[in-house]
Structure 1
Amino acid sequence: MYYNWTGRVDKNGKGKRIHQIVRNIDINELKRKEQRTISFVGFECDEGVKRNQGRLGASKAPNEIRKLLASIPYHNENKSLIDVGNVRCINNDLEEAQAQLGHHVAKLLENNYTPIILGGGHETFYGHYLGARKALGKDKKIGMINLDAHFDLRLDEQSSSGTMFRQILEDDEKAEYLCIGIQELGNTEQLFLTADELNVQYILEQDIQPLENTFAKISEFSQEQDYIIYTICTDVINQAYAPGVSAPAPFGIEPQLVRAITKHIVQQNNFLSMDISEVNPTLDIADKTSRLISYVIGETLTHLNEKEKTFYDIGVENTV
């Protein structure tokens, strides 16, 4: 399912907006790029949020984010931008939807595209991980960086938006996890114990500043991995700026920190892909949350386009 990209067109002056650059492409018609190209893929799903007893609505986020992203100026007109549409969760089959998202992500990576995944509940990340692991093979070390108020290390009978990192760490000895923004009031004592048992590295919300220390931790963690995949759970942001989420955060971080941390992560040489999760348009106020995230993505496009290294350059085998 493809989004009809439209938006403002300036009649005078130089420069284009994102909707004038992005092209919709069938995932099965991708051809390998010699130079890295950025691609959007959406995940219309909040079944994981439902299973986690959260508030539904995140499945509407991918197209809402696109709508607000469309008219943002694009400052790298010589860099192409594609969209392979949305993966949809059908008949509450979360596991199949995550597998399909994984297929899309792997296909993009194998053809030298950098995926930006528009979730969806935070169960989006498990599909993101599946795609990265498929593209990289079983032997590469994958570092997972999560900007989040919650560990998402719960033990439940069913997988959900709160279980992904535990699932991955228990199944994949080549995966490591750094979580930034953890809130003591958002996680039980058992979750902190589980984090310690699984060797999770984390930075509490109140310890993010000074940023130099957080940047140093991110860089140290990244250097220990072959590749980095990044996820932003929007409920890490203070609810004054991001009210449209399943679990609002009164003590959440400010947007400037999200911008700074995201820039530092995507500029790591071994950065691979990212997702944005837990935007809930049905709970938003005057599009505040969706607009904020669209700006984070718009700025990220600039940071990625400034990078010289490509997916191919940093040594990923061609597994097509």
Structure 2
Amino acid sequence: MIRKINPALWTGRTDHVENRSSFRYHQVIEIMDIDEIAPAPEACAIIGFECEEGVQRNKGRLGAAQAPNALRGEISKLPWKFPANKRIIDIGNIACLGNELEEAQQQLGFAVEKLLSKKTVPIIFGGGHETAYGHYLGVRNYIGKDASLGIINIDAHFDLRSYEEQISSGTMFKQILDHDPNSRYFVAGIQRFGNTQELFDRADELGVLYEYEENIHHGNFVNLQTALTAFIEDHDYVLLTLCSDVLNAAFAPGVSAPSPFGLEPSLVRSIIQLVAAHPKTVSFDISEVNPMLDENNRTVKLGAYLANEAIAAFLGRYRT
């Protein structure tokens, strides 16, 4: 079940009550039930996934379940740069009850599928990175089993661990690739010493495309841009997922697994802008922001800014 959020989460400075050029997110957000949304091809809809059961199973540090509302609190303050025909909707949160991770992922999948059927772009605020599997379920159900799906993950880790004993925040993409022959997987930001050799071997066996963190820098971004564009063009649809532990820990200390050699925020922003602006990309999630581990709200604020970049890129396709 999707729970409506408290409208008080959407608050911030008000420079003008009528002049749209002065508006911020909190002045344009539409809080509604998912069934109330009419087909809205020029809208993005935020859905929160209050879940960290996958992180707990993966023996990670807890706190990411608090991220959806924390991210709302920060993005609500940002300027809204679009005219009245561009919409931002909030349909509420899905919560994982107890240890019922699989059920929560199914519920997220149903919501994502329904939003896509309404021609509305899902913007998912996780939660642990197990968010990505529910995200995938919704996209796959919407596009059908025969369409080719490209999954782009901005991440320091492959998340290709075995799920024979239990699924977790580290198993999603192996789950997908083992059972979906029409999905392929590209990871940008892989840490050479953040993954075991077994995981590198498994990635190669499964045909995963990846780019090392150390090879992604401003002077070399064009190579990643070329690779990502080719990957997108090879598929009918694309989903984009961001695991916040890909970011350099100096900028993002509030994650379950901080990366001292992670990517700079400006590079992650460039990847999001590139992928989300492409017409084949249908959805976005941000995961692993952990307010409990944050310092002065830095990671939450950065996460909100990066989510805003995705929203701006999606809505920018429809500029009038």
Length-normalised TM-score, structure 1: 0.94
Q: Does 1:271 align with 2:278?
A: no
Helix, strand or coil at the partner of 1:300? helix
In structure 2, how many angstroms separate the alpha carbons of the residues matched to 1:69 and 1:60? 15
The residue aligned with 1:314 is none
Contact 1:3 1:63 in 2 (8 A): no
State how 1:1-320 maps to structure 2 within 5 Å.
1=3, 2-4=5-7, 5-11=10-16, 14-33=21-40, 35-78=41-84, 79-156=86-163, 157-209=165-217, 210-308=220-318
Runs of 5+ in structure 2 lacking a partner?
none
Contact 1:16 1:73 in 2 (8 A): yes
Q: Displacement, 1:299?
A: 2.5
The residue aligned with 1:318 is none
Moved over 6 A (4+): none
In structure 1, how many angstroms separate the alpha carbons of the residues matched to 2:262 and 2:272? 16
Q: Displacement, 1:244?
A: 0.2
Q: Displacement, 1:28?
A: 2.4
The AA in structure 2 aligned to 1:200 is V
The AA in structure 1 aligned to 2:235 is Q
Contact 2:284 2:310 in 1 (8 A): no
Aligned residues between the structures:
308
Q: CA RMSD in A?
A: 1.2
The AA in structure 1 aligned to 2:107 is Q
Runs of 5+ in structure 1 lacking a partner?
310-320
Helix, strand or coil at the partner of 2:153? strand
Identity of aligned residues (%): 48
In structure 2, how many angstroms separate the alpha carbons of the residues matched to 1:267 and 1:31? 23
Contact 1:16 1:77 in 2 (8 A): no
In structure 1, how many angstroms separate the alpha carbons of the residues matched to 2:137 and 2:6? 24
Question: Once the two structures are superposed, what CA deviation does each residue of 1:197-239 show, in whole Å capped at 9, x if it has no partner?
Answer: 1000000001123000000000000011000100000000000
The AA in structure 1 aligned to 2:30 is R
In structure 1, how many angstroms separate the alpha carbons of the residues matched to 2:308 and 2:277? 15
Contact 1:46 1:121 in 2 (8 A): yes
Which one is further off, 85-94 or 292-301? 292-301
Helix, strand or coil at the partner of 2:60? coil
In structure 2, how many angstroms separate the alpha carbons of the residues matched to 1:3 and 1:102? 23
In structure 2, how many angstroms separate the alpha carbons of the residues matched to 1:143 and 1:3? 35
The AA in structure 2 aligned to 1:216 is T
Which one is further off, 72-81 or 214-223? 72-81
Length-normalised TM-score, structure 2: 0.94
In structure 2, how many angstroms separate the alpha carbons of the residues matched to 1:205 and 1:3? 38
The AA in structure 2 aligned to 1:230 is L
Contact 1:21 1:77 in 2 (8 A): no
Q: Displacement, 1:184?
A: 1.1
In structure 2, how many angstroms separate the alpha carbons of the residues matched to 1:177 and 1:3? 36
The AA in structure 2 aligned to 1:86 is N
Q: Displacement, 1:41?
A: 0.4
Which one is further off, 4-13 or 220-229? 4-13
In structure 1, how many angstroms separate the alpha carbons of the residues matched to 2:111 and 2:37? 11
Q: Displacement, 1:268?
A: 1.4
